[in-house]
Structure 1
Amino acid sequence: MPRPIILGVVGDSAAGKTTITRGLVRLLGEDNVTHIAADDYHRYDRQQRAERSITPLDPACNYIDVMEQDLANVRAGRAILKPVYQHKDGTFGPPVYVEPKQFTVVEGLLGYHTEILRKLFDVRVFLAPPEDLRRQWKVQR
């Protein structure tokens, strides 16, 4: 298999990342896409973040280095053991074994935070809807 094409969908909370990502997966074909959520690389669960008064927007709240390593491995065609963050209860589940497919779509808050991360993407999309619209979407969730 040729090297996977890595696409990034990054933006603030409620910017439309998941909606765009779902559309990309549908368009490219679920069997052809590896989906990686940057939220899976949170360092702390929801309770620990509250105790520390820190949000996932803070790079220190995330394992950026592990995300860099995992994306580099996927880009090289190697499988990874990916962490799993569970939004429903704000905790971590067991890691999952992920094999690269033709396309990898990465969505999240800090996907382009470092130069290393930015260089790993073939296509980078940054979503920045008007703030009033983004807040409206967040309230509707």
Structure 2
Amino acid sequence: MPPFIIGVCGGSGSGKTTFCRQLVKYLGTDHVLHISQDSYYKDLSHLPFDQREKINFDHPDIIEFPLLVSHLDELCLGKNVALPLYDFAKHSRMMGNQFATPKPIVILEGVLLFSDSDTEKRINHKVFIDTSEQVRFERRLKRDVRERGRTPESVHSQFNSTVGPMHNIFVEPGKTKADQIISGEQSFEQVIEDLSLKIIKEIWTL
């Protein structure tokens, strides 16, 4: 039986990772495979570092969607896949892979998921997390400085030059494709409980 694929989309800093982690915890790690679109950033190791920093990382072209789609198809066939690993500080793929085995539920998380038609049509249930721009920026600022080795100035610059504009063009329209729109500024507890019950019922009827 192919896995039930849940796609969780929303702007950078909207709360996607928190939502997905809570959903995985609720459903149980034995039953869920969590895949992040961020792992599929194209490898830029062939470029000098100063050129990598100038790349628009918020445009769909920077994501290797064909590889993501092929991995989803392989999982649906019951095959193991080798997920790429990405180093955000260096803007390049890391050596090695993370091997993943098929599970009944796949949670797919990413900013640009619904912008790629081949990826979007493989998702059984699409969730869009709607969060104000100010909150998204504040969360991104904290994360990028703490986890990705960036300066506050570079985060400000990137948000104004690419993150904000690309959100309006490629991310926000994803709302129209979503099966469910939820707030990223409120507790996810009840939403996760209701969604989990829905998923379990869907799997039983497959």
TM-score, normalising length: structure 1:
0.86
Structure 1 counterpart of 2:107, one-letter code: V
| SS state at 1:120 partner | coil
Structure 2 counterpart of 1:78, one-letter code: K
Pairwise CA RMSD: 2.2
User: What residue in structure 2 maps to residue 104 of structure 1?
Assistant: 106
How many residues are aligned here? 140
| Aligned residues of 1:44 and 1:61 also touching (Cα < 8 A) | no
| Aligned residues of 1:82 and 1:95 also touching (Cα < 8 A) | yes
Gaps of 5+ in 1: none
User: What residue in structure 1 maps to residue 161 of structure 2?
Assistant: none
Moved over 3 A (4+): 44-50, 86-91
Gaps of 5+ in 2: 144-206
C-alpha separation in 2, matches of 1:56 and 1:109: 11
User: What residue in structure 2 maps to residue 61 of structure 1?
Assistant: 62
User: What residue in structure 1 maps to residue 129 of structure 2?
Assistant: 127
| Aligned residues of 2:13 and 2:135 also touching (Cα < 8 A) | no
C-alpha separation in 1, matches of 2:45 and 2:57: 9
User: Which of the two has greater helix per residue?
Assistant: 2
Structure 2 counterpart of 1:51, one-letter code: Q
TM-score, normalising length: structure 2:
0.61
Q: Using the TM superposition, give the Cα deviation of residue 6 of structure 1 relative to its aligned residue in structure 2, in angstroms.
A: 0.6
C-alpha separation in 2, matches of 1:113 and 1:75: 21
Identity of aligned residues (%): 28
Deviation string for 1:73-95 (max 9, x for gaps)? Answer: 22232221111113465442311
The higher radius of gyration belongs to 2
Structure 2 counterpart of 1:31, one-letter code: D
More relative contact order, 1 or 2 (CA 8 Å, 6+ apart): 1
User: What residue in structure 2 maps to residue 51 of structure 1?
Assistant: 51
